[in-house]
Amino acid sequence: MKRYEQLADEIALMIRTGVLKAGEKVPSVRTASRTFVVSPSTVFQAYYLLEDRGLIQARPRSGYFVRELATRALSEPAIGPRQADSTEVDVSELVFSVLGSLKDPNTVPFGSAFPSPDLYPLQRLARSMARTVRDMPPQAVIADMTAGNPDLRRQIALRYMISGVHLAMDELVITNGALEALNLCLQSVTQPGDLVAIESPAFYATLQVLERLKLKAVEIPVHPREGVDLNTLADRLQRLPIKACWFMSSLQNPLGASLPAAAKEALYGLLRQHQVPLIEDDVYSELHYGPQPQQPVKRLDRDGLVMHCGSFSKSLAPGYRVGWVAAGQFAQTISRLKLMTTISPSVPAQAAIADYLQHGGYDRHLRKLRHNLEMQQSAMLASAARHFPEATRVTRPDGGYFLWFEFPRQVDSLQLFQLALAQGISIAPGPIFSATRGFAHCARLNHGHPWDKRSEDAMAMLGRIVDSF
Amino acid sequence: MKRYEQLADEIALMIRTGVLKAGEKVPSVRTASRTFVVSPSTVFQAYYLLEDRGLIQARPRSGYFVRELATRALSEPAIGPRQADSTEVDVSELVFSVLGSLKDPNTVPFGSAFPSPDLYPLQRLARSMARTVRDMPPQAVIADMTAGNPDLRRQIALRYMISGVHLAMDELVITNGALEALNLCLQSVTQPGDLVAIESPAFYATLQVLERLKLKAVEIPVHPREGVDLNTLADRLQRLPIKACWFMSSLQNPLGASLPAAAKEALYGLLRQHQVPLIEDDVYSELHYGPQPQQPVKRLDRDGLVMHCGSFSKSLAPGYRVGWVAAGQFAQTISRLKLMTTISPSVPAQAAIADYLQHGGYDRHLRKLRHNLEMQQSAMLASAARHFPEATRVTRPDGGYFLWFEFPRQVDSLQLFQLALAQGISIAPGPIFSATRGFAHCARLNHGHPWDKRSEDAMAMLGRIVDSF
């Protein structure tokens, strides 16, 4: 990353966290140059970039100011209430009925789990694919099934190393997307009837997988910015025979919360103390807006207790279905489970991604992707401030492509979902994110698609429906 | 298929089934032309083809004779003994230790589960892949995940239709190879502790999957030519609360047996009577040597009781990991299980195969593939007759790329496996095909690789090791 980009990211973080407030003047070029010990031209470049990102704007003869859009207009949701000790999970039907309704391509996809495929370098990937399948030695289509594509394994291990996580290569198991990795992780450490600690609200697939495997959920509330509540977790680990934790420690879905570094250390301490493995679902880690990625709990993992799951589906290659897990002491078990269920992800898909990682300009693509998602987040936040009731609360994650809205209490989000769908707009209603069907007045909205008049009109329509409750 | 090819196939079947014996004269061109109501030139073409397939040879001024190689030299194994009612499965460790030893590419791969990748049109597939990923609309990478590639679904349904099986399109679920389909089928109709009827000997992955899902095996003996023993099955269905049958009704792995058409009808009758679903593993169906493919039990399925699993891994595209199940009344359950575990097979792999099926010349490739496998089978059978003790028994399947050898009683095939491996030769020892570790003097040998001096030397070496017991 260039110095001016770093500087821009630092200032963006100051805006995001409220150090610089809406309408406030950004430090002059001279001041910034002195403060950050960079040349004035670096400051200029950083300010141009921030202007381009929609975070600051120039006023004639007055310098740069923080834009209204760039700061919070609606307030932040509170942390959820404490949950019952453990819950049988029975939410799958509801999730499928919601997901089934998303299939119509004419629907405004606020309820979708996927960002727009137009944000991904599919043509460049296609060239990598064409080249690698043409040049692949026939033996590789067999050999790469059991062991995984060796170049891909090296590239993944390299990215871990660069981000400060040291892995033994044989910890890595390449999977059919992160969801297969998560399933296998859970199967490697649980039996039907066991208790698993999950977040509340949680990614709905987590709930479905628990239900399928007949596991019981111990729901731990998530703070909208600081992640899973460690006090509750400590209490539950003390009192209950929890067999595994399944957490998204960074950019949690649906809240976008990330555990601060110190909390990650505290979490790892708890896990070690109780010798409970962590399934760390980190599929959004590359979508951070801030200057640096969040470090995973995996970085602290001396005991091989953490199974760190990642994927290219959100960062590079949707539909290619290539993910992985760095599985610590559970790697062999998971690798064997995979050989008994799907054997391997598609060999050509692995090879294409390996080639792209080596030659395609992944980091350049990621910067562009993050920038687009951040712009779209600003647009959705601004639109929500215009159209939703003032009492609405909303998260403002430092990455990803989801916002979590907490509407006034009387709003029934399952009804909202139905009414919106009748108007050609999908949303992801709160209850699909909870084993206890909580969050009845909440919804997750996807801003992973380029913002346009249709998006704006859909937000206005949603606002009118919300008002009608 | 051209008329002369049909005729050649009919005569090959007569040789295979012993109607025409080794050294016997093949009907003269005039007789054949009259008998089969074809022109003499069609007979000539058919005979040239059979000569090319190594089944007949010309003797100067005497006409064509059946080659020695082309008929049985070693005798056929007997059907296995009756098994205990049901067995806890605990074979996975053994299977993995055998499979792990196959990784060395310098080993002669008689123990492998895969045929040589050189037998597949990988370059032509690569062109289909390059074209489809280049032209794929970005929306498809998302849409094809949940629903499957629509062209691929149509092509698969079309092939069913041509072979006389009528499917509702929505019965089809595209999966990560057949193994995922089989796993999901089993999960859709069983709970841990349930009984499942399987074949004995069985494909070892069947045993591993049962073990993983904590299901109990009811082993039904398989006749080496006529398939699973229906009398035993009828008895077990009567007496035991069997929740599903998992059978390979055609070209069973490892024996290569196929249930005759009447037995398939009897099997379906039993299933209907007891309302027990059949998981029909039919991954070798395209590898028949005879004139016509075996019809699956699925063809008889009026009640949606049969989950028919197929794959392109053995017939077209190893490593692409694309299979499917035509799942009858269980289709929705299976589709949902898939969305909760792997979501989808790789979208580019699906598109490439769909394009190949439309434009690549699949049937031409299949004819070549079958021809190669049949030639290699003849070569291995002839080599076995030269090098193995006379008391050895061997199957002679009408398709596929496995032979099942029953050595003299004193041969311990796990020891044989170790001794052969030390000489750079792998085999698949009998006990990995049985929940009860039976078949201790048997082994499966793969003839899916082009036959050469190395293969011949390996057979000679195996023969010496067998003799040493």
What would the mean pLDDT of B266-289 be, rounded to a whole number? 97
A409 and A444 share one domain: yes
Last residue of a domain, one of B298, B331, B359: B359
Tell me how close the Cα of A451 comes to any Cα of chain B, in angstroms: 17
A293 and A391 share one domain: no
What beta strand segments (E) does A315-429 contain?
323-326, 393-394, 402-406, 428-429
The 10s digit of each residue's pLDDT in A268-314 is 999 999 999 999 999 999 999 987 888 999 999 999 999 999 999 99
Last residue of a domain, one of A339, A359, A379: A359
CATH of the domain at B324: 3.40.640.10
| Most B CBs within 10 Å, among A173, A341, A344, A401, to test the B interface | A341
> Is B9 part of a structural domain of the chain?
yes
The total number of structural domains that make up chain B: 3
pLDDT at residue A81, rounded to an integer: 66
pLDDT at residue A10, rounded to an integer: 82
Q: Is the pLDDT of residue B88 over 80?
A: no
User: Looking at the complex, does the CB of residue B315 fall below 8 Å from at least one CB of chain A?
Assistant: no
What would the mean pLDDT of A436-449 be, rounded to a whole number? 94
The 10s digit of each residue's pLDDT in A220-272 is 999 999 999 999 999 999 999 999 999 999 999 999 999 999 999 999 999 99
Distance CA A346, CA A312 (A): 13
CATH of the domain at B113: 3.90.1150.10
Which of 265-294 (B) contact A at CB < 8 A?
A: none
Distance CA A455, CA B390 (A): 78
**Closest residue in B to A100 (Cα–Cα):** B146
pLDDT band at B67, cuts 50/70/90?
confident
Peptide bond into B117 cis (omega under 30): no
- Enumerate residues 6+ apart whose C-beta is below 8 A from A300: A264, A265, A268, A306
Q: Is the pLDDT of residue A351 over 90?
A: yes
Distance CA B214, CA B177 (A): 22
pLDDT at residue A82, rounded to an integer: 62
Q: Is the pLDDT of residue A332 over 80?
A: yes
**Closest residue in A to B134 (Cα–Cα):** A126
The rounded radius of gyration (Å) of the Cα atoms in chain B is: 22
Q: Do B138 and A145 touch (CB under 8 A)?
A: no
B277 and B231 share one domain: yes
> Is A169 part of a structural domain of the chain?
yes
pLDDT at residue B72, rounded to an integer: 56
Tokens representing residue A391 in the block: 């009492």
What would the mean pLDDT of B125-142 be, rounded to a whole number? 95
Query: In angstroms, how far is CA A19 from the centroid of its own chain?
Result: 25
What would the mean pLDDT of A2-28 be, rounded to a whole number? 81
pLDDT at residue A72, rounded to an integer: 55
pLDDT at residue A71, rounded to an integer: 56
Most confident of A234-238, B14-18, B85-89: A234-238
Peptide bond into B201 cis (omega under 30): yes
Of the candidates A361, A354, A349, the residue with the CA atom closest to the CA atom of residue A318: A349
Q: Is the pLDDT of residue A372 over 80?
A: yes
pLDDT at residue B103, rounded to an integer: 77
Mean residue pLDDT of chain B comes to: 91
| Eight-class DSSP state of A399 | B
Distance CA A292, CA B178 (A): 42
pLDDT at residue B104, rounded to an integer: 82
The larger pLDDT score, comparing residue B467 to residue A73, is at B467
Tell me which of A271-285, A396-410, B141-155, B262-276 is least confident.
B141-155
What would the mean pLDDT of A36-43 be, rounded to a whole number? 90
* A442-446/B63-66 β-pairing: unpaired
Q: What string of DSSP letters covers B117-160?
A: GGGS-HHHHHHHHHHHHHH--HHHHHHHHHH--HHHHHHHHHHH
Distance CA B200, CA B180 (A): 22
Tell me whether residue B468 is exposed, middle or buried, using C-beta atoms within 10 angstroms of its C-beta: 0 to 12, 13 to 18, 19 or more.
Answer: exposed
Q: Do B321 and A343 touch (CB under 8 A)?
A: yes
pLDDT band at B71, cuts 50/70/90?
low
Strand partners, A197: A218, A245
B8 and B55 share one domain: yes
Kindly provide the b/e burial profile for residues B125-150, where b requires at least 16 CB atoms within 10 angstroms of the residue's own CB: bbbbbbbbbeebebebbbbbbeebbe
Select from B133, B147, B336 the Cβ nearest to the Cβ of A130: B133
A138-147 vs A150-162: helix crossing angle, rounded to 10:
50
A354 and A277 share one domain: yes
A301 and A244 share one domain: yes
Select from B142, B146, B352 the Cβ nearest to the Cβ of A117: B142
User: Looking at the complex, does the CB of residue A15 fall below 8 Å from at least one CB of chain B?
Assistant: no
Q: Is the pLDDT of residue B53 over 90?
A: no
> Is B343 part of a structural domain of the chain?
yes
The larger pLDDT score, comparing residue B290 to residue B157, is at B157
* Residue A456, domain extent: 87-118+364-467
B320 and B171 share one domain: yes
pLDDT band at B19, cuts 50/70/90?
confident
> Is B216 part of a structural domain of the chain?
yes
Tell me how close the Cα of B115 comes to any Cα of chain A, in angstroms: 9
> Is B445 part of a structural domain of the chain?
yes
Q: Do B336 and A129 touch (CB under 8 A)?
A: no
Q: What amino acid occupies position B133?
A: V
Phi/psi region, residue A427 (left: phi>0; alpha: psi -120 to 50; beta: rest), is: beta
Q: Is the pLDDT of residue A31 over 60?
A: yes
CATH of the domain at B36: 1.10.10.10
User: Looking at the complex, does the CB of residue B343 fall below 8 Å from at least one CB of chain A?
Assistant: yes
What would the mean pLDDT of B45-55 be, rounded to a whole number? 85
Residues of B in contact with A179 (CB under 8 A): 340-343
The 10s digit of each residue's pLDDT in A164-219 is 888 888 899 999 999 999 999 999 999 999 999 999 999 999 999 999 899 999 99
| Whole-number percent of chain B with pLDDT over 70 | 97
> Is A132 part of a structural domain of the chain?
yes
Tell me whether residue A374 is exposed, middle or buried, using C-beta atoms within 10 angstroms of its C-beta: 0 to 12, 13 to 18, 19 or more.
Answer: buried
Select from A142, A183, A336 the Cβ nearest to the Cβ of B341: A183
B383 and B438 share one domain: yes
What would the mean pLDDT of B415-427 be, rounded to a whole number? 94
pLDDT band at A328, cuts 50/70/90?
very high
ipTM of the shown complex:
0.86
Tell me which of A290-299, B67-76, B277-286 is least confident.
B67-76
Distance CA B229, CA B259 (A): 9
Distance CA B25, CA B57 (A): 10
User: Looking at the complex, does the CB of residue A81 fall below 8 Å from at least one CB of chain B?
Assistant: no
What would the mean pLDDT of B92-121 be, rounded to a whole number? 87
Tell me how close the Cα of A135 comes to any Cα of chain B, in angstroms: 9
Assign 3-state DSSP to chain A and report helix, strand, coil percentages, each to 5.
50, 15, 35
Please provide residue B178's backbone torsions phi and psi, each rounded to the nearest 5 degrees. -70, -30
User: Looking at the complex, does the CB of residue B349 fall below 8 Å from at least one CB of chain A?
Assistant: yes
Tell me which of A122-131, B48-57, B195-204 is least confident.
B48-57
A163 and A272 share one domain: yes
CA B109 to each of CA A7, A433, B137, B380: distance values in angstroms, whole numbers, following the listed order: 58, 49, 41, 13
What would the mean pLDDT of B240-244 be, rounded to a whole number? 97
pLDDT at residue B81, rounded to an integer: 66
What would the mean pLDDT of A25-53 be, rounded to a whole number? 87
Mean residue pLDDT of chain A comes to: 91
Q: Is the pLDDT of residue B70 over 60?
A: no
Q: Do A319 and B344 touch (CB under 8 A)?
A: yes
Last residue of a domain, one of A314, A340, A359: A359
Distance CA B350, CA B366 (A): 19
Tell me how close the Cα of A379 comes to any Cα of chain B, in angstroms: 23
The 10s digit of each residue's pLDDT in B302-319 is 999 999 999 999 999 999
Residues of B in contact with A142 (CB under 8 A): 114, 117, 318-319
| Whole-number percent of chain B with pLDDT over 90 | 71
The 10s digit of each residue's pLDDT in A79-105 is 776 667 777 777 778 888 788 777 788
B278 and B147 share one domain: yes
Select from B117, B321, B336 the Cβ nearest to the Cβ of A346: B321
A398 and A348 share one domain: no
Residues of A in contact with B183 (CB under 8 A): 340-342
The 10s digit of each residue's pLDDT in B162-173 is 888 888 888 999
Chain A / chain B CB contacts < 8 angstroms: 182
A304 and A378 share one domain: no
Select from B130, B192, B349 the Cβ nearest to the Cβ of A346: B349
Residues of A in contact with B319 (CB under 8 A): 140-142, 144-145, 344, 346-348
> Is A77 part of a structural domain of the chain?
no
Residues of B in contact with A140 (CB under 8 A): 319
> Is A324 part of a structural domain of the chain?
yes
Which stretches within A81-137 are classed as H helix?
Answer: 92-100, 122-135
pLDDT at residue A228, rounded to an integer: 96
Distance CA A206, CA A102 (A): 19
The larger pLDDT score, comparing residue A67 to residue B136, is at B136
